Amino acid sequence: MDTKIVLSATWIVVTLIYLYGDVFRICSGDFEKLMANMNFNQFVWLGLAVLMLMPILMVFLTLVLPQSVSRWANIILAAFFFLFNLVGLPTYPSYYDKFLLAVSMVFNVVTVWYAWNWS
């Protein structure tokens, strides 16, 4: 199978896991608890929007960027999201959040592995 398709699919999976976690947080009431003590300004929200847009854009960029650029973009961003989620993992009190983050981290590792071995 074409590596571009596999890598694009890993970003789709990661994006859906993040969205699934957001839906769970909203439905369980955990979102309100997490946000109760936070007073974000527009720049923080913009930063969060950019952060969460990265996996979505990687679905497309993986398919259209030149192979060498796409390879390194996949490695760097997947490693970044792995580390970002690793640092955030202890802060989530819910077991479903920890589980979903762990699964997304597995897909980050899969992304790095496929990108690293892309010839």
In the chain, the amino acid numbered 105 is M
In tens, the pLDDT along 2-51 reads: 999 999 999 999 999 999 998 998 898 877 777 777 788 999 999 999 99
Please determine, for residue 78, whether its predicted confidence score (pLDDT) is greater than 90: yes
**pTM confidence score:** 0.91
Cα–Cα distance list, 23 to 18, 71, 116, 119 (Å)? 9, 31, 32, 38
Among residues 55, 115, 62, 113, the alpha carbon closest in space to that of 85 is found at 55
- The answer to whether the CB of 119 falls within 8 A of the CB of 53 is no
In tens, the pLDDT along 41-69 reads: 999 999 999 999 999 999 999 999 999 99
- The answer to whether the CB of 89 falls within 8 A of the CB of 98 is yes
Q: Decide: residue 31, CB within 10 A, 0-12 exposed, 13-18 middle, 19+ buried.
A: middle
